[in-house]
Amino acid sequence: MAQLFFRYGAMNSGKSIEILKVAHNYEEQNKAVIIMTSAVDDRDEIGFITSRIGLKRRATPIYEDTDVYELITRIDKKIACVLIDEAQFLRQHHIKELARIVDEINIPVMAFGLKNDFRNELFEGSKYLLLYADKIEEMKTICWFCAKKAIMNLRVHDGHPVYNGEQILIGGNEAYYPVCRKHYLRPPLN
């Protein structure tokens, strides 16, 4: 029976490399997967999943007006799994469409993304995945400044922590650190 999975973690927890690994495992068994990512993430190029260790793969971009359910129903081959990267940037209607894929077409969907933003607010996509997912799993990483588990994302600018501003600012290690609660509140920066 197909299920909707949400695997979340702080920055640098290996979400993108995990999605590439899952795709490889399916494809090694000659099972087709559909790999998608939010079009909001344009760090590398729109429509690509790129891991920090250098692996890169083309993916179907999901725009705000994309109907993911309709897109999947138009594919004329048997799909073993739908894999979604940067799921935090999806909208409520996208999450409901992913649930329809699972419930009506019986295709498992695995969504990967951040749970909370740099202000410790839920992203819209994450909020609805937490509500609709059949299985939720945390992907762990360590704090940038100590050995504790990172549960938050610290935005930095010119060596100083940033706690206010627009929710979405696409960036990597130059803009965000995975941190524990202690170092989110008191980061050892300049």
- Residue 167: Cβ within 10 Å count: 12
Looking at 28, 45, 64, 86, which residue is catalytic? 86
CA 141 to chain centre: 15
181 half-sphere exposure, CB direction, 13 A CA radius:
0
Sequence-ordered strand ranges (E) for 10-113: 33-38, 48-50, 56-58, 60-62, 81-85, 109-113
Q: Is 138 assigned a catalytic role?
A: no
Structure tokens at 117: 């933003």
Burial (0-12, 13-18, 19+ Cβ within 10 Å), 50? buried
Dist. CA 62–CA 87, nearest whole Å = 10
Residues with active-site annotation:
86
